[in-house]
Amino acid sequence: GYLPEHTLAAKAMAYAQGAHFIEQDLVMTQDDQVIVLHDHHLDTVTDVREVFPGRARADGRFYVVDFTLAELRQLAVSERFRLSGGKKTAVFERRFPLEKSSFRVNTFVEEIELIQGLNKATGRSVGIYPEIKSPAFHRREGKDISAAVLQILKAYGYDQQQDSVFLQCFDAYELQRIHGELLPAMQMTVPLVQLLGTEPEYKAALTPDGMKRVASYADGIGPSMRLIVAPDSVAGNLQVTRLVELARDAGLLVHPYTFRRDRLPGYAASYAELLAIFLDDIGVDGVFTDFPDLTVEYLESNL
């Protein structure tokens, strides 16, 4: 919420603000490096159009997988923006200004080493929460991103259920593959989290039988907050779904996303009120947030 997302500067600030876990969105480069970036496209978070103008695909998009790590290092990373008529407009208007200061693409390894280094220096044990982005797309490009991510996790000591890690993905097929094939082959037992969006393909999971199926391969769910409280709810009259209850019955943790001070739903008058609804009234296990300082402050003042 304060620095361009997925930069090392943002992660260091989140760490200093007391985050318990820090998220990494993961994609792969042409030369098989795993990097941290919001999406497998470059054109809404970097200046790739200016630096490599001829490298777009037929759809006009610039793909991480078409660039080497050395090429990606030449790009400036910024907050997410929209492009209209050649003009960039920030998605989050009140956040760090576009095209100011200097931020670069970093690798998953570099971020792990930053967090582990800070853990050593501070005596804390902040965990990591990597997300495998677009595994089916990567497979079509000849990249097994899941295997690459697991190899890095194992090399850095994140390989057992009790380690400070959650591995998440929206793709149920890929999580089942990780659970049934990759983890046993690598003698790993890291906790898996099924992300759930509001799109129709996730509807089947939002039933008692669907939750049981998820529980057969995952340890938790990461649903959009809209799947827990209907977005057209109003203050004093919340439409709370049965999702958390169903997840509990199936033995699953619940970590909804994304809690943002500058994107409050209509039923919450303040960020603290939004946290109170989900953490206290509904009782989720944790939240994904762009504002760890406000969230930690809330938790510490309401223990």
Q: What is the pLDDT of residues 26-37, one digit of tens each?
A: 999 999 999 999
| Burial of 39 (C-beta count, 10 Å sphere; 0-12/13-18/19+) | middle
For the chain, what percent of residues have pLDDT higher than 70?
100
| Burial of 79 (C-beta count, 10 Å sphere; 0-12/13-18/19+) | buried
- Could you report the per-residue pLDDT of 196-255, keeping only the tens digit for each? 999 999 999 999 999 999 999 999 999 999 999 999 999 999 999 999 999 999 999 999
Picking from 197, 225, 70, 71, the residue whose alpha carbon sits closest to that of residue 131 is 197
Task: Give me the pLDDT at residue 85, please.
Answer: 85
Check pLDDT > 90 for residue 86: no
The answer to whether the Cα torsion of 73, 78, 84, 85 is positive or negative is: negative
Cross-strand partners of 88: 83
- Could you report the per-residue pLDDT of 161-190, keeping only the tens digit for each? 999 999 999 999 999 999 999 999 999 999
pTM of this prediction? 0.97
CB atoms within 10 A of CB 108: 23
Check pLDDT > 80 for residue 303: no
What's CA 228's distance to the chain center, in Å? Answer: 18
Task: Give me the pLDDT at residue 65, please.
Answer: 98
